[in-house]
Amino acid sequence: MSGEDTEIERILAAFKLDHYSVLGVQPGIATADVNKLYRKKSLLIHPDKTTHPRAVEAFDLLKKASGSLQNDKERKQLDQIWTDARKVLIRENKWAEDDDRLRGDEFLVSWRAKVRELLIEEEFIRRVELKKQQNEELKKRKEKEAEIEQRQEEKRLKDSWESRREERVSSWRKFTDKNEKKKKKRKGVLV
């Protein structure tokens, strides 16, 4: 397996929401270094320069990760999650802030796992909120459609009522004329 294929497989195996893992770096890397690293890795795994079947997918992930780490807002959110994960691990293990175990590879593995856990929680919450928002929008749209339909039905009934006015008036006149004729006939008989 060549270096390109190894890097493509590493990128595809990395947790997609953790852009540091996709690039294969630690938090705290400078933005300029992110850009340099992206250029280097993108040249290595570019779909036009390698025959790997999933090179396009890996390249897109790398591009997205680089863009996110160059965006200050997204980077601050990710850095905050890394900080929170570190604090949670320290609290769970009851370690001091300057404990030597925080510098080892074992801690780095558990730190990445905790970051992954927090990112999954955050993504789940984001998707639940998005679904809730979509349901609210759908409900509002249905209410609007029902209101419009109701207005159209009321207008149709009103128009129907108005269009049959002459018919109702003429039938009422016929009815009252018949009654007047009957009354006149009765009056004549009674007299």
Per-residue pLDDT of the chain (191 residues; tens, 9 = 90+): 678 889 999 999 998 889 999 988 888 888 899 999 999 999 999 989 888 899 999 999 999 999 999 998 999 999 999 999 989 988 888 888 877 777 778 888 888 899 999 999 999 999 999 999 999 999 999 999 999 999 999 999 988 888 888 888 888 888 888 777 666 655 555 54
Residues 131 and 64 both lie in one domain:
no
pLDDT number for residue 77: 92
Q: Does 144 share its domain with 190?
A: yes
Q: What is the pLDDT of residue 140?
A: 97
pLDDT confidence of residue 134? 97
Domain co-membership, 89 together with 156: yes
Residue 1 confidence (pLDDT):
67
Answer yes or no: do 96 and 174 share one domain: yes
Q: What domain count does the chain have? A: 2
Which residues constitute the domain of residue 134?
72-191
188 and 104 fall within a common domain = yes
Query: Same domain, yes or no, for 63 and 89?
Result: no
Residues 88 and 14 in one domain: no
Residues 91 and 175 in one domain: yes
* Together in a domain, 53 and 137: no
Q: What is the CATH number of the domain that holds 46?
A: 1.10.287.110
Where is the domain boundary, 46, 70, 94?
A: 70
Query: Looking at residue 186, what is its pLDDT?
Result: 58
The residue from 28, 48, 70 where one domain ends is 70
Nearest to 90 by CA among 76, 105, 110: 110
Instruction: Check whether residue 61 and residue 155 sit in a common domain.
Output: no
Q: Residue 64: its pLDDT value, please? A: 94
